[in-house]
Structure formats: structure tokens, C-alpha cells
Amino acid sequence: MINWEIKKIFKSKNGIIALILFLIISMSMVFIKPNQIIQDGSENSMSDEEKFNMKVELLREQSKNKGEDDISEELKEMSNEKLAAIKFYEYKDTMFWKVFNYRAFHPLMSSIMLIIIIIIFSNIYTDEIVSNVDSLILSSENKNKVLYSKLALSIGIPVFLYTVYLAIQFIITIMQYGKPINGVLQAIRIVDNPLLLKDAYTIYNFVLLKIGIMFVIFITLGVLASLFSFVSTNSIQSTSGFLIFIFLGKVMTLIKYLPKEVLLIFSRINFIDLIFNFNELVGMYFGRLKLFTMNLDIANLCFVIIIAILFIGIFLCTSIFKKFLTR
């Protein structure tokens, strides 16, 4: 049934619009480069070697700081770890990774992916209702296969599209900046602020971590968009429900009377910031949260919450299949 579901999506206008958007965003990245690379063309810009030396110096300074509070102490420790992990203090070419890291998680890409997810998945079941085919599906032997195929696609299509997007960016970046070398070096070489990097990641680790989290975000958005489609009767209901949900986290950050711990969590894991400020959030140090007797790492806690939202979304979809659609 999954083939039929794919066929239905890409035979519809929505599927075609989504494909066009995907092609535009994949190809337009050819012209998008990190600011630092654009600036390197100007006379007053710092050389890459100077920038790297500055970052190392910054880490050294931080490692010598006396930790006055928990955060300073932790930043000091992290700086020491990063310095200890540096294998080469001289400049090495990491241009490919700088550009790839920039393109792979660009906010324009993630916002277009969000639009594609809305177009495809907010309509994945409402389209059946609007075309009155839902009753044929729900009275058929393969009813469950159809519904689970839709759910599987809300996971599979974002994964597929983002994988293809990454592959295209990988190839384009190789063609423009050469092979991906020196990925075993420290990720501080490709980020602007080395102090806030959460760990002494290598470039490989850092990029893979971000790719993994981006996958989880897109899958979660796909599942949530489908969830709203399964409980709605038309596209407007479904899309507005989904948009309200993803904006809700951001809105919560504006409600100042909430406990500061809650505000802190919402400011890190609301979907709007995850989409538009992904690079500032993922792989970065957020501090710790004291909850009862536990001292939790906020970054890890946020990741656990996103995974929990994903699983709750999947669970709600399956419950809807069993109880809601034939209520």
C-alpha cells in the first residue's frame, strides 16, 4: 500500500508543488555561502589561519579563568577538554566542512522543508475525507495497512528528502570547494564561537550529531502534521492546528510568569527556534537545570523531550487509527 500512498501524493498538485520547492531549495544552495567565506574575498578580512589562532587563544583564556559560578566552571572544563583534544595547532583546510555545515542546516532549507511537510502531511488524510474516499478505505480489508503506510510516510518522506538534500549539498560543495578533508579535526575550526560548543567534537561527530537531530526534528514535524490531518476534516483545520502547535512553544517563551526552568526549556526546544536558529542551538552548551535532586544537562533534556514528542505523536496516531476514525 505504501507505493499507492506515494503515487497518490505525487499525482496530486500538492506533491508536485512540494517537489518543485524541494528542487528549488536544493539547487539554490549553490549560491549560498557562509558570511566568513564571502568576507574572505575583501581586503580587510582575517585569514583562516588567524581566525583559528584566535579561537585557540579564546579557549586558552577561558581555561585559565577562575570559575566564579557553576557555568564559568563548566565552560572552563569544556575549554580544557577542547584544547586537550586539538591534534594540530596549525591551520588546516576545512573549507568543505564549513560550507557543508552551513548549507546542511541553513534556516532557508529548514523553513522550506517545513512548508513541504505542511503541504504533504497536513493533507495526508484530509484529502481522503475531502474526496470522500475515506469510507472506502475504512471499510476495506487493508484499512490498517493504508493508515500505517501514511504514518510510515510521515517518517520516511522527510528522511528521504533530507537525505537527498544532504547528498546534493555534499556533491555541490565538493564541486565548489574540493574533497571533504580533515573531518577528524576539532569542530571548533568550523564554528564561529568555540567556547559554546558543548563538547570536544570532531567535525565528523559535530556534523553527524546535527544531521541526526535535524532528522528527528523533520520526522517529528511530519508525524505531528499527519496527526493533525487524522483528527481534522479539512485542510484548513489540519494546517492551522499544526501551525498553532508548532508556534505554541515559541509563544510560551513570551509568558514571563512561567517558572524560569520551563521558560528555559521552551526557549531551547520550540520548533520555531529549532527551524530558524538550528545552528545556534544544536551541539551548543545550554547549561544545567536543577530539578529536585537532579542536575540535568539542558541540551540532553531538550533532546529527550523532542524524542518524547515524536513517540507521543506516533502513539496518538495509532490510537486514532484504532479508536477515533471509526468512533
Partner 1 sequence: MNKLEIKNLTKSYGNKNANNNITITLENGVYGLLGPNGAGKTTLMKQIATLIKPTTGEIIYNGKNIYSIEDEYRGVIGYLPQEFGVYKNFSAKSFLQYIAALKGLAKREANKKIDELLNVVGLYDVRNKAIGKFSGGMKRRVGIAQVLLNDPKIIILDEPTAGLDPQERTRFRNLLSAISKDKIIILSTHIISDIESIAKETIMIKDGEMIMKGSHREILSDMNGKVYRIRTNDENQLAEIQSKYKVVNLQRGIDFTELRIVSDEAIPYVNAQVMEPKFEDVYMFYFDLENTKEV
Q: Can you give the binding site for partner 1, defined by CB under 8 A?
A: 1, 4, 8, 11-12, 131-144, 146, 326-327
CB 82 within 8 A of CB 57: no
Query: From the CB of 177, what's the least distance to partner 1, in Å?
Result: 43
CB 169 within 8 A of CB 29: yes
Closer residue to partner 1 (CB): 16 or 174: 16
Neighbours of 171 (CB within 10 A): 10
Ramachandran angles phi, psi of 139, nearest 5°: -100, 10
Closest by CA to 196, choosing from 205, 187, 204, 209, is: 187
Query: From the CB of 136, what's the least distance to partner 1, in Å?
Result: 6
Closer residue to partner 1 (CB): 8 or 55: 8
**DSSP H or E segment with residue 22:** helix 13-28
Query: From the CB of 232, what's the least distance to partner 1, in Å?
Result: 17
Bridge partners, 284 (sequence order): 197
Q: Would you call 146 helix, strand, or coil by DSSP?
A: helix
Query: From the CB of 3, what's the least distance to partner 1, in Å?
Result: 9
Which DSSP string do the residues of 161-228 spell out, in sequence order?
A: HHHHHHHHHHHHHHHHH-S---TTSBGGGTSS-GGGBSS--BHHHHHHHHHHHHHHHHHHHHHHHHHH
Query: From the CB of 93, what's the least distance to partner 1, in Å?
Result: 51
Closer residue to partner 1 (CB): 4 or 89: 4
Closer residue to partner 1 (CB): 95 or 151: 151
Closer residue to partner 1 (CB): 137 or 274: 137
